[in-house]
Chains A and B, each alone.
Chain A
């Protein structure tokens, strides 16, 4: 079974600076998808960014980018120019690319609570 590990329960960063959140995963599959979700105090889960394992190019979405290291099974999230609205819980998630029954379910890490200091 796949597992996802976020080793940083809490992180903090000064407003306008850059922060990197870590995520590692364990799988024997070669084709899969990785996601970062944000959960603000409202508790609504919001997709931040996603990465297909077969793509070598790292995904970017405005101030958010990932460092995907497939061999190392690492998927870190970099937030540039941090803003107060970025304060939230961040979850890393894994999903198999297979279309067999059950393959679409997400496996989540434990989460990292990010605080933005003004």
Chain B
């Protein structure tokens, strides 16, 4: 079955360490997204990519980095510059195209990052 796989599901990090969250999709979707979820704040966009080798900052990109070397993969690195990284991270993807406005985001199951 097609879908989005995020790993790891749970991750613990010491302060000052960089960590990378994996996101892989086999839906043949062009666009991929990273969202951060905190209690009471909904989902906030970190980075997104609409095509391979191209990505744009979202609303809260500081302290994060991404790459898009393959269509299927969009890893997110949480760097030591991110001051409050403890959160739930969701990866999503969708198709582009002429009628892409109607396309729906498909989400992964998420990764929970805790800074010790």
Contact = CB atoms under 8 A, between A and B. Distances in A.
Interface of A: 4, 6, 9, 31, 33, 35, 42-45, 47, 50, 52, 91, 95-99, 101-111
Nearest to A35: B104
Interface residues of B, number: 28
Interface of B: 31, 33, 35, 40-45, 48, 50, 56, 58, 88, 90, 92, 94, 96, 98, 100-105, 107, 109-110
Q: Is the interface of A mostly helix, strand, loop or mixed?
A: loop
Contacts of B43: 91, 106, 108
A49 B43 CA distance: 18
B23 to A, nearest CB: 14
A106 to B, nearest CB: 6
A101 B50 contact: yes
Given A44-B109, A104-B31, A105-B45, A95 B56 contact: no
A50 B104 contact: yes
Contacts of A110: 40-42
Given A33-B101, A97-B101, A99-B101, A45 B90 contact: yes
Contacts of A43: 88, 109-110
